[in-house]
Structure formats: C-alpha cells, structure tokens
Chains A and B, each alone.
Chain A
C-alpha cells in the first residue's frame, strides 16, 4: 500500500466515487489519451444509463399531473403545473405514514435480531471452533437457501395457532432468524481468519468469553457488521411473500405491500398509480444515496466469501 501506487486498492478499500483521485491521476499519466472515440463511448453509455433510469423519471412526471392533464397530454409530457394533490391523496389513501412506521420498526427489529443471532452463532463457530462446526455451517447455509414458498404455509398455520398472525412481533422474529443464517455464514468466515493471539492474550489476562466478544470481536468486526445491517435493512424493507401472507391489516402492512394494493384498486386512475410507485421508490432512493458505499461493498462481501 505504501510504495506501489499503481496497485489497485483491495476490494474493501475501494473508495467511494468522488474519492478515487490518487489512482486516477496515476493512471492518466500512464499515457492514456482521450480521443473523439472515447467521448462517443461515454456518450453512448450515458444515453444507455439515462434510458435505463427513464422509468423513474416517467413516474416522477406523472405523479404531479392532474387526471385531465394526463388524459389530454399522455404520459410523456411535462406536467402543466406541479400538482401535489395526487401524491398527498395517495399518501392518505394508503395511510403511508403508518406504512413507513411499520416498515422502519420491522426492519430495525429484523436487523437487530439477525445481527445478534449471527454474531453469537459465528462466535461459537468461527472463534470457539466448537465441535461439528462444519456441520453447523452447512446447516446454516442450507436453511439460508430455502425458498420461502416451501415454509410459508406451515408458518401461516402455526402463527394463527400461536396468535402471532397479523402481528409485527412474530413476523420480525421470523425474518430476523431467516437472515441470521446468511449472517452466520458470512461472519463465520470472517471470524475464522481472526488473529487468535488477540483472543489468547485476552483470555490469559482473565477476560471471559463475554468480555472477549464484547470488547474484542465486536469492535473489530464492525465493518462487516455495519454492511450486514445495511443489507438486512434493505432486504427486510423489500420482503414480499411473507408480509403478503402474514401481515394483512392496515396497521401492520409494510410499504411495498400497502402500495401494491393500489395495483388492483386504482387501475383506472393512472396518475394515482404513478404516485404510489413514486412513494415506494423514494425511501429506498434516499437510503441508497446515504448508504451507497456500504451497499456496493456489501454485494462483494456476501458473494465472494
């Protein structure tokens, strides 16, 4: 890292877009020239990316149009004037405030449960190297790939029996436990390469297993944990089949579910549909902009190991 600046930084050291200067300057001095052709390529890719993102622009435009404006000018025109009524109307119709609160509550709960369980599991498997650890790891990997449709009916049935049906508590635990399997797998592999001298030194100093977990493992694995938190939050926010089956009342529904109801009910009201899609897109765009770095880094972390 200190001497050879031409070596690309390792994956997790990849800097966020605006911070890539050091490597770039080095590259540019390496005799690369920009030609007319290269600008054409950039232009072509730009057009491609803009076309790729056009659906977002289209729903943005149409969420601010009155029905009359939409009927006379179609979906591709600029709104005659920016009309907030449709959005606020849809907001009230789906009780969007409540849906946002539900989604945030549930997702935070899921993150907490999943990360704590994964941390404990991985502590036992990766650091403690308990007996049959490979078997446990294979177990968690196996349950991690189970399709939800293979579990959903018994869960629906059992939740009804246990009074957990249409409640946030049971649902949050369920999704948290589901994600903890993936987290266990990811963290165990991170922990297995953890410097053992540190743990041995600490235990010689009389630190118990809780202290080691809390004072040594937790702080040092924070980069991985934070990426996991971000990912679990997004996954949980975007869940569909489980909440469709298990959270049916307005007071418990999450954002995607509350909005997808619009599909059936207001097909004849195109601008309202557009506004509903826009409401669903905005929270995650904001989240994406804030946590972009963790997200792009996390894709790699989850996949490669």
Chain B
C-alpha cells in the first residue's frame, strides 16, 4: 500500500519549483514594482518619491487617458466584435454550404488564406498597411485608377478617419482566429441535424441562427474573452501604424504608458496607466473564468 501511495502525493512539488520561482521573479516582482511606482513620482533615475494617489487623480483628469479608453472601445470592436460576427458568417458559409457542395479541400484553402495574417508579425503587417494606406499608396492609386480619385484620403493622417482605418486593419489581422476556431467547432455538429432541418424546409439563414450559432456558443465566448483582453493590451499595431496620432485620435493605454515610460521619463505616471490596465485585465479575466468554471460545473 505504501509504495502505491508514495509517488501519488509527495515528491512532485519539486517539479513545480523552477517554474514557480522563475514566474515569481520575472512576472510577479515586476508587477508589484509597477504598482509601487504608480504611487510615486519618478523619472527612472535616483529614488522614487512617494506621492500616494496623485498619479491616479491626475490620470482621471487627463483628456489623453480618456481618449485612449474611448479608442480601446473601438479597438475591441475591431479585434473582438466584428471578426466574431464575420467569422460566424464565413464559418457557416464555408462549412454548411461550400464544404458540402464543393468539398473540404476548397474550405481548407479559404481557411488558410484568411488565417495567414495571424502568423505574420504585427510590426510587419503594420509596415505593409502603412505603406498601402500612405497618401501615395496603393489604396489611393486604386481609387484613382477606377475613376474614384476624389475619394482618396490621407487614411492614417486624418484625425477623423484614422481610428476607423485602424479598426479595419485590425479586423483584417484578426479574422482568421475566430474563423479557424468556429470551423473546428462546427465539426461537432451531426450532419444529419442540418439535413433534417433542410428537409423540414429550413432556409440557410434559419439553420445559421438556430443550429450553427447556438452550437458555437462556447467558441464565441472564448473568442470574445481572449480578444477583448488582447484588445486592452493593443500596442504594436498602434505603434507601427499611427504612433497614437494624429493628435490623440488613435492613442491606446499601452502606447500612452510607453510614451510616459520611455519618451517623457514620467515613470510614476506611466505606471499608474499600466496598473490601471493590468487591474482591468485581471478583473475581466477573473470574472469570465469564474463564470465559465461555474457553467462547467
């Protein structure tokens, strides 16, 4: 008896030691330090001066901070909401229509094409889109060529337009993720269910809303949670495409924090910004996960 019980309960903890220790050193220590810095005035050299909640009161009166949060709402639409809706539609179209009539090979090709932007470095896609959207770039020359030259714009340079254009680029980058997830979720569906529905005269739209969408609920949930969190952290896309500009029209919190850390040497204030995002992310993730855990039983 003793020999079977032995390896079950003891001696395994040692395997956790290196991973736990490194996570504490590289992730938890910096986290705590950021929270501490957020309560100080510090330029990155010398000793931080404790200032209590001053940075936070300043933060909540800062128009740039609120602009960055408004922009995050747009980013979440571009990174979470639109790709999910579009992904649902495309997944159903590919699975329930094209896959059935023309085979899965074709579906695989479409899926790969739409997933491709997901593996390209964001900095590089940003470089590419920045080039295409430049005033003399491909989009404007295309408009010119088809006789719509009057619609040409400085896509990323116009404060009223830049955020919408960024949103479009985000959709392009992100679409593949929900699509791949949804397509694989649809494998769970018993094909007979669709066939029975069709025999009963259900239209494609009815099958979509009554069968496809309900079955994909877990995947939709996962996509919305993970991409909303990713949206709050968005940095590289903005850094490369617009630098937060023009003005603060595409500023996001992560970039705002970066500016304070490394361009303005206002580490205390930057830490207050990033602590706020960190708390927000932890709260959202915590809520979602407890909800999921409760649903799973």
Contacts and interface: CB of A to CB of B under 8 A. Distances in A.
Interface of A: 6-11, 14, 16-18, 20, 23-24, 27-28, 30, 32-35, 38, 41-42, 45-46, 49, 52-53, 55-56, 58-59, 62, 74-76, 117-118, 120-121, 123-125, 127-131, 136, 139-143, 145-158, 173-174, 177-178, 180-181, 184, 199-200, 203-204, 208-209, 212-213, 234, 237-238, 240-241, 244-245, 255-257, 259-260, 262-263, 270, 273-274, 276-277, 280-281, 284-285, 287-288, 292, 295-296, 299-300, 303-304
Given A11-B184, A75-B138, A262-B127, A24 B119 contact: no
B26 A55 contact: no
A78 B211 CA distance: 46
- Greatest chain B CB density within 10 A among A45, A124, A145, A184 is at A145
Contact of A34 (B26, B102, B109, B188): B102
Nearest to A25: B103
Contacts of A20: 103-105, 108
Complex A-B, nearest 8 residue pairs according to Cβ-Cβ distance, in ascending order: A128-B12, A17-B108, A280-B124, A240-B236, A150-B278, A154-B33, A256-B121, A256-B123
A27 B121 contact: no
Interface stretch (B49-57, B58-66, B90-98, B159-167): B90-98
Interface string B267-297: 1001100110110011001100100000000
Interface of B is mostly: helix
Interface of B: 3-4, 6-9, 11-16, 18-20, 22-23, 26-31, 33-34, 37, 44, 90, 93-94, 97-116, 119-124, 126-132, 134, 136-138, 141-142, 145, 172, 175, 177, 180-181, 184-185, 187-192, 195, 218-219, 222-223, 226, 229, 232-233, 235-236, 239-240, 253-254, 257-258, 261-262, 267, 270-271, 274-275, 277-278, 281-282, 285-286, 289
B65 to A, nearest CB: 14
23 contacts: A11-B184, A11-B187, A27-B191, A28-B103, A38-B101, A45-B94, A53-B116, A56-B116, A59-B128, A75-B137, A76-B141, A121-B15, A142-B282, A150-B275, A153-B261, A257-B123, A263-B127, A277-B131, A280-B121, A281-B128, A284-B124, A295-B115, A304-B222
B116 A285 contact: yes
A49 B113 contact: yes
Nearest to A120: B15
A33 B225 CA distance: 39
Contacts of A288: 112, 116, 119
Nearest to A210: B15
